[in-house]
Every structure is written in structure tokens, then in C-alpha cells.
Amino acid sequence: MASRQRYRVIEKIDMGGMAEIYRARAVSLEGIEKEVAIKRVLPQLTKNRKFVAMFLDEARLSMHLNHAHIVQIFDVGRAEGTYFIVMEFVDGYNLRRIFQQAVDTNQPVPVEISAFIMSRVCEGLAHAHEKRDTEGKPLNIVHRDVSPPNILVSRSGEVKLTDFGLAKAASHLESTDPGVVKGKFSYLSPEATEGQPLDHRADIFAVGIVLFELLTNRRLFLGKSDVETIDMVRQADIPSVSRLNPKVPARLESIVNRALARDPRKRFPSAGEMGNALMECLFAENLKASSYDVSQYLKRLFDPGGQDSFEERIDKLIQEEVLNLSSLRYGVPFGEHEGAEPVRLEEMSTEFKSTGRIPLDAIWPSTHPDSHTGFSPKLRSDYNSGLSPVSPMQYPEDQGSWSAPLPSDSNEPVPLSRTTIILAGLAIVAVIVLVGYLVATYL
């Protein structure tokens, strides 16, 4: 029996120094499919036994976790000489992308949205921190890499924590070398920079860093070099949140400060308590936030006003100029009524013979004046206000189309004037300049 391919790769969506992420479909019986994400170890790293052991530890650990705010792991396998993990696909953005877009578009993440997102991260962490094995023994999981790239937010407002690749747990076969610092330097805890043993409170400190950055729209620990960044983390000198953002209430600022206490004993005793404190703060300050609000914010951030995509806007600009350069500029806009068909440019001539009337029913069928698909008000106004030397439109009541008298009854061909050609050239140049500007702005 021929082997059946279980996963069909669609596209690569991310790549790092150790692994690459693909969007794929899991294929089951009778053609049943499910969209998934596949994390695949880079082939050159499969010879590194220590890294492979760490990768398998991540898979082993993640299999224990099943929570609404943690990316779920479905499968682990090996193919073509390398290992891969099959996980839940989150259709959305990571928090780093959201933060960058907020800065670029000058649309800071609202206070209530920031607190809500991080409260959900706390719920996911609480599940991981408190997880026990099948025998009831604590796994003592510490994520150790809570940072914007590892916090995913779906388009529908779901928040999920991912990438336990650097996690510390009792179930791990591969132990951490003494004195080795793992994690992104800007999101380490002070005790991590000093090589001290870590527990769940290191993750709480990282949550405090991310929350601070969302509320203030700026980085907290970012030096000119890694050494300087680590030194900033070690000192843990935290600026006033409310000074940087007056919209932050005092109660929320105290939560941030407690999470960022240099002494782990002064932080929240658990991620669950910090998440609960954030939700109580939102309620007390009358700040409404939900998954729906997060979803709406993402729409405003990445798709403001439901505008067309960049490519669609370019297509519409070109189509508009083609219409303006054609003899059909006073006709029905493309696609505004059933059966509309654009005229092929190669079939159009630069001259036409006057016959007294233009039978538009030969071009656009069913354009009766009673239909809303006739002239737009603007075009009708332009038509009748002297922009073209023709008399007002005539609407025969006994016909299914309209016609308009031409300015001349002569049968001689009417060539395009020099002015028309110059204006047409200028219009084309304008489109080219506009396209170049949009490309430079959006790409």
C-alpha cells in the first residue's frame, strides 16, 4: 500500500536561527483537512545532539499542556533526516508585529487592550506553572522566553502563548548548563542575569516588561549592546509608567511595578494572581476589554476603515484612468450591474464615425434608466453641465437602453485632438508617479 502524505505544506511563514515555521494542512481520511503550523529543525542542526535533545524536550513538555491560551501541539515526527513539531495554526499576528505596527502608524495599543492581552498570557502561564504529570508530581515548568514574538493574537482576538523551546521543567532530559543564560536579553529577569536558579517568578517579571512596553509604547531594557542591555536588566530601574502615559491609572501602574520588582519575593506569588489583578483593575477602572475589542483594534491597526489592499488600489487607479482615456467615460462604471462587461482595449479605435446616436445596449445590456445601474449622479451632472458638447440624455420609454445625440451628424471620422492626446499623456504620467509613491510608502 502506498504511503499517504499526512501533511501538505502551503508556505513558509517564519524562520529563525534554529528552526523554520510552515503553514500546512493536515490531511486525514476521506480528504478531511485541518490547517496547522509545522516547526521544523534546520537540517544542519540535526547533527547537534544537544540541540535535538532540547527540541524533543520542547515537544515532550508541550504535549502535557492543553489550555485555551497556549498553542496546542498535535504531533511530533521525523522526515528527510530532520525533526518537526505539528502545532495549532493561529491566524493573526505576534505581539512584536502588533507593537511595531502600532508605532509605525501612531496608534498605540489602548490601555485596556494591553491589560486584557497580558491577563490572558498570565492565564496560560498559570496553567503551565501548575501543571502536574500523570503521577501528580509538579512539572515545575518555567517558560523563560516570555516575549512579544512568542505571544500570538488571532484576528478574532484570541491570545496564545507559544514556543516552550527554552522552558525549564523537571521532565526534561537535557539539563541547562550552569551559568548559561537562555532567553532574549531584553526580557530576562535580574536573577537570570546573575545565574541564579529560576522559578515561575522569572516569567512574571517578563510579563511585567511586555506590559510596560505596551502601555508606554517604548522599550524598557534596550541598550546599545547586549552587555549594556543585561546590565540594565540587572539594575531593574523602572521609569514611571503614568509619566510616560498619563492614561494609565494608578492601580494598573502598581501592578506593573509589583511584577517588575527586582526582588522575586516582592512580585506576584503566581501568574494566576497577576492575571486576576489585571482583570479586577479593568473592572474597577470601568475599562471595557474583550476578545471582540482586541479583534476590532487589530482591524483598525492592519486594515483601517476596511480599505482595499495596496494591489487592489493600484488596479482601481489604473482602471479609472483607462476609463477616463476611453470614449466610454460617461458610461456605467464596470461591475455595477449584473452582466456588465468591460470593453477590450485592443478592440477600441482612436476614431469613430458619428451615427447620430450611441447604442449603449450593444456595450452594456439592460441599462434601463429606471435601473439604479444607469448614470451615477456625478456623471449625469457632468454630462448635462457642458463638460461634453452634447444635449441632455434622452430616455426612450419603450426601449431597454438609453442613447444620447452626438454633437455632429457628419459621417466624417473625428480624430483625437492634440489637446486630448497631451492630457492623456499627462494622465498616464500621473498614474505612474502615484503608483511609485504608493510603492515607496507601503512597501
Contact 152, 159 (CB under 8 A): yes
Contact 21, 39 (CB under 8 A): yes
Q: Which residues contact 321 (CB under 8 A, 6 or more apart)?
A: 427, 428, 430, 431
With b meaning 16 or more CB within 10 Å and e meaning fewer, what string describes 120-155?
A: bbbbbbbbbbebeeeeeeebbbbbbbbbbbbbbbbe
Residues in the chain: 443
Write the burial class of residue 442 (CB in 10 Å: 0-12 exposed, 13-18 middle, 19+ buried). exposed
Number of CB atoms found within 10 A of residue 238's CB = 17
Which of 75, 91, 145, 382 is flagged as catalytic?
A: 145
Contact 275, 119 (CB under 8 A): yes
H-helix segments, 80-166: 95-104, 111-129
Kindly list the distances between the CA atom of residue 246 and the CA atoms of 276, 278, 394, in Å, as whole numbers in the listed order.
23, 18, 64
d(CA 214, CA 301): 14
Question: Quick one: which of 296, 268, 309, 324 has its CA closest to 125?
Answer: 268
d(CA 28, CA 33): 6
d(CA 118, CA 127): 14
C-alpha cell at 105: 502608524
> Can 303 be counted among the known catalytic residues?
no
Kindly report the backbone phi and psi dihedral angles of residue 67, in degrees, each rounded to the nearest multiple of 5, phi listed first.
-145, 150
Half-sphere exposure of 197 (CA within 13 A, CB side): 5
Interhelix angle 111-129/271-284, nearest 10 degrees: 150
Q: Which uninterrupted H or E stretch holds 343?
A: none
365: alpha, beta or left? (left if phi > 0; alpha if psi -120 to 50): beta
Q: Which residues contact 125 (CB under 8 A, 6 or more apart)?
A: 143, 146, 161, 200, 203, 204, 207, 271
Residues assigned a catalytic role: 145
